[in-house]
Chain A
């Protein structure tokens, strides 16, 4: 119960101090949300036109990068060729359709890099398959491109309007 005395009265003879609020474990909250949501909305841009598409994603434990895959004949692939700067929006609205206050959301900004055949591609394909087993064949198709998003920062939104920014440590 934190209901202190009503008005503040100048000098405090009890010399009590307001406890300093604990730093929120924002990275933990982001990680939990990403773990609970298989899909996000990938936001791309090109020719002066923004575009959004739902993608299945995976992420690394340090949250420094995320990955998704897409057929190369798609609009989002064309736009990614045009501009690698992307955002990915992940949220829990499906869990709380009637209570906005409980919905959490993360917007991560980053740079999307297409991974060609390499150790890195194999590693990220494995991560995607671990979360999305149905994509195994899809990932093996020559017409599928796998992109890694190197995250610049995360905007974590809770309680409708509380926004906290978290910058992941640079890897490498």
Chain B
């Protein structure tokens, strides 16, 4: 050691290479081979090759910038995913040092690989007995030819910094200055069946049992969840089958015809026992049946599922549906869940609550809450995983097109048939009608300035008396009914017509939004051309799936907002009844807790509801010794704009938002996206390149910086804010020297 770097080591070398040089997976395989087990041949591209690549491409600097841009602990999972994608794009976009690529090329010639090559991660410490984190890093297979193998190596190296790995960074001790990744290169073994096996029951830790799963084709199909496997539980000592079931597969193999014979099961059981006896740990192996013999693809110590139920990380890790599962989800979401949700919203909206006696109204309130809770569970179980169609497409697009901007694909996601787009079109149509009639616009504007118009009924009457008012009112009512019967921060927007009217008038003052149609068409053509004839259909299908995934991600939020609106409607009706009977005092402000109390009081005449006054937030102290001048977030949509800031905290703020202001909020929700076209720029606390605010801002060409942790605390209404969507920087105030030249201190406004 200490002489020439060891870039490439054959797995059959004696003595087996050290794990710190080749990683846990490769070291284990080499030791298994040496111990006489039948393992796939191959070689390992060592951590020293990784170091050389990273150093020459200056990726270590990029890693430091990316991983310290914000404390990792403060990053949401989506931001981790974005970070991982940026790192991945940087790795994949760097060229290989010639000495390394020649080494790989030379090595590939040593083995025949008719079925292509498998490029697998092998991180030091990854598969040790103490810490086994299966599936955090990528494997790429099968790949054919040197160029594809080199690509695969870069992709696997980048996966040292995958979103999943970043979630477990503490356990892995991830450090840009220290962490390394080796890569295992093996000819793909086209064995069948293939599967996994555990030397204990990994769900319970029962060491007296062995678990075996098998699929007809490659093991990757099982690991991806693409194919439902056959499953056996065996007695470890005797080999007796304790349970077995065949996988639910439509195409290959008749139902009930198990993939493994008793002799094959016994061979797997023996191998597990031998590994355990020889190495001292209970193994988790991937295997395949090749040339009438069991062949081990990899072996590592079994890991038990985390015992902390509060740990959300396994759930985030599960958000990577395989293409097959994504397709199944797409069908379930589009054909079953969304129609069911929409139908439930319509049914509840049609219910006439006035006719219900108190007990039934109480029941309706509880049933609606239960419906909201139920659909939020569906949201977590089905809608969010389906939203990952967008992410899958993003990775595919970047691998194919290699754009400078790893989020360039976002512009392809928009479409005409979004519920939010329909709402926006309707709102714009009405805004245009108002713009064409100056007198009506002036009258509506005047009406909004008059505080007496807040009441829904008088509001309607007064619009009706304006010239052109009745026709406008019909269209306005339809807009409210069809598109704004949704809840935003506990308030039904349809009950705040003045806020909707305010937005219409602001939109009427704005020039027409730019059209992206040509740009989208050009980019789509470029993408499909890059796919080439062989992959064109696949590329088109993934794009369609991504668009569907994005549309439903928007629609499902709006539909749940509609469902919540119906819950609030029932609670408001109940509260009004109680108020008339003087059994409810205080100002009604919707909350889940108040909803339950209203339902209880409706059922039990002895109960009354007293709503305590809401505690006003502490007043702004005015002058502060410490003020933020530059806040850093993610550059979520490019562009540069400066304007006065307006924070959106609740539905009352929707009324205040003026065209040309910078929209500052916790997160742009689908229930408020109609404000976005009015904004000069967007600043969000919540970070992510694929969240609603970011994608809409990109579509509209509005600069957006998100992931600004203390945006809502540090920016005040009226502050002059410069939003740099290229760099992800928000600057507060002007670059002045008032204090230095003795000018009186001023607020940071324009």
Contacts and interface: CB of A to CB of B under 8 A. Distances in A.
Partners in one complex: yes
A53 interface: no
B625 A10 contact: no
Contacts of B311: 1
A2 B487 contact: no
A3 B76 contact: yes
A148 to B, nearest CB: 16
Contacts of A6: 77-78, 384, 387
A165 B316 contact: no
A101 B487 contact: no
B231 to A, nearest CB: 31
B739 A3 contact: no
Interface in B597-648: 625-632
Contacts of A3: 75-77, 80, 167, 312-313, 316
B456 interface: no
Contacts of A8: 666-667, 669, 686
A163 B628 contact: yes
A164 B557 contact: no
Nearest to B629: A163
Interface stretch (A23-31, A74-82, A124-132): A23-31
Nearest to B76: A3
Interface string B691-710: 11000000000000000011
Contacts of B313: 1, 3
Interface stretch (A13-21, A35-43, A115-123, A137-145): A13-21
Contact of B627 (A1, A162, A164): A164
B74 interface: yes
Q: Which of A14, A15, A85, A165 has the most CB of B within 10 A?
A: A165
A21 B76 CA distance: 15
A8 B670 CA distance: 9
Q: Which of A9, A85, A166, A167 has the most CB of B within 10 A?
A: A9
Contacts of A161: 630, 632, 727, 729
Nearest to B631: A162
Interface stretch (B64-72, B460-468, B472-480): B64-72
A48 B80 CA distance: 48
B263 to A, nearest CB: 47
A74 B312 CA distance: 63
B561 interface: yes
A163 to B, nearest CB: 4
Contacts of B373: 13
Contact of B666 (A2, A18, A24): A18
B490 A11 contact: yes
Interface in A43-60: none
B376 interface: yes
Nearest to A169: B625
Nearest to A102: B68
Contacts of A5: 380
A15 B629 contact: no
Nearest to B369: A13
Nearest to B70: A159
Q: What class of interface size applies to chain B in its complex with A? A: 35 or more
B217 to A, nearest CB: 32
Contact of B553 (A7, A15, A167): A7
Interface in A90-111: 98-102, 109
A153 interface: yes
A100 B669 contact: no
A101 B666 contact: no
Nearest to B310: A1
Contacts of B631: 162
Q: Which of A10, A15, A152 has the most CB of B within 10 A?
A: A10
Contacts of A98: 61
Contacts of B76: 2-4
A10 B729 contact: no
A13 B372 contact: yes
A159 B631 CA distance: 10
A11 B489 contact: yes
B591 A9 contact: no
A164 B312 CA distance: 34
A17 to B, nearest CB: 11
B407 to A, nearest CB: 18
Interface string B290-322: 000000000000000000000111001000000
Contacts of A169: 625
Contacts of A24: 626
A63 to B, nearest CB: 11
Contacts of A15: 591-593
Shortest beta-carbon contacts, A-B, top 10: A163-B630, A101-B68, A163-B629, A13-B592, A21-B710, A8-B667, A3-B77, A152-B739, A11-B564, A10-B561
Interface of B: 61, 64-65, 68-70, 73-78, 80, 167, 311-313, 316, 369, 372-373, 376, 379-380, 384, 387, 486-490, 553, 557, 560-561, 564, 567-568, 590-593, 625-632, 666-667, 669, 671, 685-686, 691-692, 709-710, 713, 727, 729, 737, 739-740
7 contacts: A7-B691, A9-B557, A10-B560, A15-B592, A101-B68, A164-B628, A166-B626
